[in-house]
A = this chain, B = another copy of it.
């Protein structure tokens, strides 16, 4: 392998719960990987130490070209500063790029995680050859990455793509972000689990609890999904409802951006067509005909590594 080492790159996905560091070649083939808890509650210094350890774990032997980082927060891409992060307590104006650069004496690039994932899918996944695409991560929340004319779109202060916080129900639930009826309060994994708990507490007949060790606090989107596999009616109904909400938000994205491609990633995308097909049906029914005909809505292809691979791709794009 040594002769190829000069072309290897490191990508780091810094999330609120996990750090995912990968060593990749320039085609997005992952050669080495280190996944660890971020333990975000310990604060920036501890997390940064863990990022450095994680990079060293994948890159010890490699002569790498650079390091890309996709972080769960708003990033000033030009300066490499994480401005603010709802999922990383204490991260205000942290110059992560400089810190990592000093440690490794290598080019370092910083990007928002969902935005990085859009680039990852564009370079190595479902968006190869497509210059106008929206990547949507549907998991605990809903995040978005926007690629326009082959360029990542950041907005005026690096926080563009907060599509999970568009109101789709003006009378809907209050969101921790301060807004109401946000898309992610209705169509995220958190929303799905919350609705399941509510219905179980109200006495609904369902096998969902069987998949959650009988404990309400263990009910999750994934466990609701498992119950559908055994034909659980409530579980199916809840996922249909989530797919409907997902579709209503997708209509907005389609009407606003008229994109070529929307890629759905994140934890909920593992439900596959069970989620995607009814959501896409809402788009066909309710979006403007022209953009509805123009758009393909597909499952993202890189799975949980989209962010880290996109981060690695930042190095390729910049060199």
Cα A83 to Cα B291 with chains together (Å): 12
Q: With A155-B259, A258-B157 in contact, do A289 and B84 touch (Cβ < 8 Å)?
A: yes
Query: A166 on the interface (CB 8 Å rule)?
Result: yes
Identify which of residues 238-284 in chain A touch chain B, using a CB-to-CB cut-off of 8 Å: 245, 248, 251-252, 255-260
Q: With A171-B171, A251-B167 in contact, do A258 and B155 touch (Cβ < 8 Å)?
A: yes
Cα A212 to Cα B149 with chains together (Å): 49
Identify which of residues 191-248 in chain A touch chain B, using a CB-to-CB cut-off of 8 Å: 245, 248
Cα A177 to Cα B255 with chains together (Å): 11
Identify which of residues 289-314 in chain A touch chain B, using a CB-to-CB cut-off of 8 Å: 289-291, 293-295
Instruction: Enumerate chain B residues within 8 angstroms of A168, measured Cβ to Cβ.
Output: 167-168, 170
Cα A151 to Cα B178 with chains together (Å): 32
Q: With A156-B291, A156-B295, A285-B178 in contact, do A255 and B166 touch (Cβ < 8 Å)?
A: yes
Q: Are B166 and A256 in contact (CB under 8 A)?
A: yes
Q: Are B258 and A159 in contact (CB under 8 A)?
A: yes
Residue of B nearest to A259 (CB): B156
Minimal beta-carbon separation of A244 from chain B (angstroms) = 9
Instruction: Enumerate chain B residues within 8 angstroms of A56, measured Cβ to Cβ.
Output: none
Q: Are A290 and B163 in contact (CB under 8 A)?
A: no
Q: Are A157 and B84 in contact (CB under 8 A)?
A: no
Number of this chain's copies in the complex: 2
Q: With A158-B258, A257-B155 in contact, do A248 and B167 touch (Cβ < 8 Å)?
A: yes
Q: Are A178 and B286 in contact (CB under 8 A)?
A: yes
Instruction: Enumerate chain B residues within 8 angstroms of A167, measured Cβ to Cβ.
Output: 168, 248, 251-252, 286
Minimal beta-carbon separation of A179 from chain B (angstroms) = 4
Q: Are B255 and A162 in contact (CB under 8 A)?
A: yes
Q: Which 5 A-B pairs have the closest CB atoms?
A: A155-B258, A166-B252, A160-B258, A157-B294, A162-B255
With A166-B252, A179-B251 already in contact, 14 other A-B pairs whose C-beta atoms are closer than 8 Å: A149-B151, A156-B291, A156-B294, A159-B294, A160-B257, A161-B258, A162-B256, A163-B255, A165-B251, A165-B287, A166-B255, A167-B252, A170-B248, A177-B288
Cβ contacts A to B, 26 pairs, < 8 Å? A83-B290, A84-B290, A144-B256, A156-B260, A156-B295, A157-B258, A157-B290, A159-B291, A160-B257, A161-B256, A162-B258, A163-B256, A166-B166, A166-B252, A166-B255, A167-B168, A167-B251, A167-B286, A168-B170, A170-B172, A170-B181, A178-B285, A179-B255, A179-B286, A179-B287, A256-B256
